[in-house]
Structure 1
Amino acid sequence: MLFPTVDFAIFFVAVFAVAWLIRPWHLWWRVFLVLASWFFYGFWEPKFVLLLIGSTAFNWAVGRDLARMRGPEGLDRFGRWFLGFGIAANLATLGWFKYYGFFVKDVAGLIERFGVDLPLPLLQITLPVAISFFTFHAISYLVDIARGQCEPLSPLDFALYLSFFPHLVAGPIVRVTEFAPQIRAPFRDRVIDAAPAFTLIVAGLFKKVVISTYLAGEIADPVFASPGTHSALENLLGVYAYAVQIFADFSGYTDIAIGCALLLGIQFPQNFDQPYRAWSLQDFWRRWHMTLSRWLRDYLYIPLGGSRGSKWFTYRNLFLTMLLGGLWHGAAWTFVAWGAIHGAGLVIEREVRARNRWLRGTAAKAAGWFITFHVVCFAWIFFRAETFGAAWHVITRIATAWGEPSPAATPLLIAVIAGAIAAQFLPRDLFRRFEVTYSELAPAAQAAMLAVALVLIDALGPEGVAPFIYFQF
């Protein structure tokens, strides 16, 4: 059930209406949202609802026992082993569904190089939608309990936390300490601040349906499908277009998710903050998929040792974090390469700063932005390409195919790409000022503006909408 579809519109209107009516009955409000979330998840493949319910039951039980084991000094040795068991079980489930085929093929290929014919069972395993995201939520819940940062939730509250449908499929990754306080206390009234929610939903729909879909169909998909039939300029524009596409696609999803959650009375953390205006890779990761960045920092980088050791120990931890972050995105070495590029770039940045060679001033920051943007775009080539060969083909065409005709490089395409990148530099509070202005209008005017915006999005968008890119992760 994709957000920009009639199916979801009908589903959400029904859920919102019922949730609004039963808000004063806090228990039934939570029960209803859990059941609605399970229905939403089962819309893709009903049998995987059992996987979500099983993950909920298992992690709630582990979290309850971890809380009992935690003493004034934290977990004892057995408690740490039990925490490790809980994390390992979650990762094993994720690994089975997401990485089994990937590793079996690689192991089989490695064995064959030594002349050993050992056929390994290659099973056709369907990847459950959202398994990475609810696994990350579950792991953070267990670790936070072990650290004493939160108390275990009731079974119902934990089920709602893990399965709440606006963030279930593609984030943002919400901490239990951010979510639980909002569902514990009963609502005092049925008043909902709808203006920010509607503006976020419309902005998200525009990004996804108009910008992302246009760039994908016009240049990004054709270039990555067949780099050799496109000129250097078209390949370069294809890379730039994909950079804008994935931002518009993912931030568009996040905007819709945050807006839908607001209408249901839940506030999510911000997930994007104009990432393509970043002047360093460190700055980029403070702005791109911010909830994932914090998750990787708190549950991977810091447990690895963080920056508590020597300089090279810190660099190792930083590189491994990004490498594993790349692997999390998909069962392919191209994703590992994407993570390695970012990890190496972050290490180089730190080393340059450590040697006091980090340039300052407006011109230096402009140069930093240019370099950062193109390192990010270079990494996106591997993220988007199906194979290393395909990625290398795009790179070589950009380097060698100048002077060839570029019929796909239309003025409209260039304007959309340039405009989308330039929009990253607009004042941060511009959108907030529009929200305030919109909220001050009369309800009839708000409804009219919303209707006009939706009609324009529908008119500018294509027939049908492709799944969000991050659904595959």
Structure 2
Amino acid sequence: MLFPTLNFGLFFLAVFFVSWALVRLPRTRLAFLILVSYGFYAAWDWRFCFLLGGSSVFNWLMGHLIHRATGDGRRKLLVSLAIALNLALLGFFKYFNFFLNSANALIETLKLGRDIPYLEIVLPVGISFFTFHGISYVVDIYRRKISRPARLSHILFYIAFFPQLVAGPIVRASHFLPQIAAPVDPHDIRARRALLLILGGLFKKVVLANYLATGLADDVFFDPTQYGAWDILLANYGYAAQIYCDFSAYTDIAIGIAALLGYRFPVNFNQPYRAVGFQDFWQRWHISLSSWLRDYLYISLGGNRRGAWMRYRNLALTMLLGGLWHGASWNFVIWGGLHGLALIIEHRFFKGGLKPATLTPGRKIAATLVTFHLVCLTWVFFRAADFGHAWSFIAGFARIGTAPTLATPFNLGLLSLSMSLHFLPPDWVARLETSMARVPLVAWGAVAGALIVAIDSLGPSGMAPFIYFQF
């Protein structure tokens, strides 16, 4: 089920009313939310519910073993085993055929004999996200950020909770498990803020992201040789705007849905195209992933504790693995590698990275423009089907004499509107929430319903899946 569909709307309305009807029966309510979360996942493929449940039970058991283990060596061995097995599960489903294809290409190049047989492996939706949630739990137990192992029902809910199950945000176990243990208070729900996030997310996905894809990005990336430099540039900008609107829309809706059910998710985007450097960009883009990679990978590798060259190595490894996390393709490795290289350059020449507070207004504008265009260039490898398509797209920047065909008022208006979201006041949602505090919640709910219908009518026909569903 996709968020911006009638089926999901009916599903969520039923979940909302039943879950709050059960508020005085917390165990029954939790069991109900676990059940509907597995039902939500089963809508894609019910068979993978066993994989999801098995991953949850495994991490719950490993959490108990790590907590009970005596001696640092034994605890470290157990957490290493838990991480390795989680990654092995992810690697089999997501990367087996990638490495198999790479091996077959090498065999063919070296003329060593027959290819290795190919396996048809279906990628479970959201496996990258629920695997990282499992790792978060066992590592937080190991680091004693969680004082004692959680109940199995709490782990089942934490890993399978349907708003964040498919595409995040990645919620830390130490952040979410205490919320499950505490009683939910219907009077503590910021319903107006939640509805604003949901409405904003629906508009970004249904209108902005979908039209940017169909009108600018998709056709050009499919065959960039048919377009000149100006259309290539517009498509590049279009995809940068599309992926932001698409992914931030999903997380805004997920945060709003979780809030309406009584749970808090972390903010995942903070106007990333206002970044003055790549370090600043990753503090604004997919914040739950970048902070997860920093705390669970970069710091585990040694962080910046062992000198400059080890820091550069750790940055490179973190971003290469972060790129590979996004997909089983050399394009994602290149994308991650370019971001790692940019971070290394910043740390080398700007003593720990560019920081907005240290720049004059003129230098801040220049740094923002340079960062934005470099990020757009790296998006080419993220979006293109393969390296050949990426290179064809980049080569298109040289076809300057070709007249643009995509610079229509509608497309330019979409781009302008999408980018203007980065220059709203950072607290614009809080301001709107405050301004609507006097409007009765029932009236605001009716207005929200009417706006949902209006947004649906403004979008193109059909509904493309969210981009991050593939990860």
Q: TM-score, length-normalised on structure 2?
A: 0.97
Residue identity in the other structure for 2:42: G
**Corresponding residue for 2:288?**
291
Q: Which moves more between the two structures, 184-193 or 15-24?
A: 184-193
For residues 78 and 219 of structure 1, the distance between their equivalents in structure 2, rounded to whole angstroms, comes to: 55
Distance 2:382 2:136 in 1: 26
Given the alignment of the two structures, is residue 318 of structure 1 paired with residue 334 of structure 2, yes or no?
no
Mapped partners of 1:441, 1:357: distance in 2: 43
Q: Match of 2:365? A: 366
Separation (CA, whole Å) in 1 of partners of 2:102 and 2:144: 40
Q: Pick the aligned partner of 1:426 from 424, 427, 432.
A: 424
Q: CA deviation at 1:78?
A: 2.6
C-alpha distance in 1 between matches for 2:318 and 2:458: 40
The whole-number CA distance in structure 1 between the counterparts of 2:244 and 2:443 is 31
| Cα displacement (A) at 1:191 | 6.2
User: Is the contact between residue 20 and residue 190 of structure 1 (CA under 8 Å) also seen in structure 2?
Assistant: no
- Equivalent residue, structure 1, for 2:41: 41
Equivalence map 1:231-310=2 (5 Å):
231-310=228-307
Within the alignment, does 1:58 sit opposite 2:58 as a pair? yes
Distance 2:6 2:173 in 1: 31
> 2:45 aligns to what SS in structure 1?
coil
- More displaced stretch, 269-278 vs 346-355: 346-355
How far 1:443 sits from its partner (Å)?
A: 3.4
Tell me, yes or no, if the aligned pair for 2:346 and 2:354 is still in contact at 8 Å: no
Report what 2:456 is aligned to: 458
Q: Name the aligned partner's letter for residue 73 of structure 2.
A: R
2:431 partner amino acid? R
Report if the CA contact (8 A) 2:206-2:460 is conserved.
Answer: yes
Q: CA deviation at 1:442?
A: 2.2
- Residues 356/100 of structure 1: CA separation in 2 closer, same or farther (3 Å cut): closer
Q: Which residue of 2 aligns with 1:388?
A: 387
2:185–2:262 CA contact under 8 A, matched in 1 = no
Give the % identical residues: 49
For residues 51-91 of structure 1, give each alpha carbon's deviation from its aligned partner in whole angstroms, at most 9, with x where no partner exists.
Answer: 0011011110011110001x5xxx52232222111111111
Aligned residues: 468
SS at match of 2:44: coil
Query: Given that residues 197 and 260 in structure 1 are in contact (C-alpha distance below 8 angstroms), is that contact kept between their aligned partners in structure 2?
Result: yes
1:184 corresponds to which of 175, 181, 206: 181
Matching residue's letter, 2:8 = F
Residues 1:148 and 2:144 are matched in the alignment: yes
Name the structure 2 match of 1:222. Answer: 219
Cα root mean square deviation, aligned: 1.6
Asked if the contact 1:24–1:187 (Cα under 8 Å) also holds between the matched residues in 2, the reply is no
Which whole-Å CA distance do the structure 1 matches of 2:265 and 2:122 have between them? 30
1:79 and 2:75 are equivalent in the alignment = yes
- Worse overlay, 56-65 or 409-418: 409-418
Counterpart among 103, 112, 135 of residue 116 in structure 1 = 112
TM-score (norm 1): 0.96
**CA drift at 1:449:** 2.2
Given residue 401 of structure 1, which amino acid in structure 2 is its aligned partner? R
- Report matched runs for 1:324-363 at 5 Å: 324-354=321-351, 360-363=359-362
Q: Is the 8 A contact 2:255 2:265 kept in 1?
A: yes
Q: 1:153-168 maps to which residues of 2 (within 5 A)?
A: 153-168=150-165
Q: Which amino acid in 2 is paired with 1:431?
A: V
Against the structure 1 CA distance between its residues 357 and 326, is the aligned structure 2 distance closer, same or farther, given a 3 Å change threshold?
closer
Whether the aligned pair in 2 keeps the contact of 1:251 and 1:271 (CA below 8 Å) is: yes
Q: Structure 2: any 5+ residue segments left out of the alignment?
A: none
Moved more, 429-438 or 248-257: 429-438
Q: Which runs of 4+ in 1 moved over 6 A?
A: 355-359
Q: Which residue in the other structure is 1:416 paired with? A: 414
Structure 1 residues 85 and 356: CA distance shift in structure 2, 3 A: closer
- Determine the structure 1 residue equivalent to 2:87: 91
Contact 1:192 1:265 survives alignment (8 Å): yes
Which moves more between the two structures, 351-360 or 29-38?
351-360
Distance 2:412 2:10 in 1: 36
SS of the aligned residue for 2:439 comes to coil
Report the equivalent of 1:13: 13
Residues 370-427 of structure 1 show CA distances to partners (whole Å, capped at 9, x for unaligned) of 11001110110000001111111111111x2112122221122112212321320221
Amino acid at match of 1:442: P
- For 1:54, the aligned partner's letter is G
Gaps of 5+ in 1: none
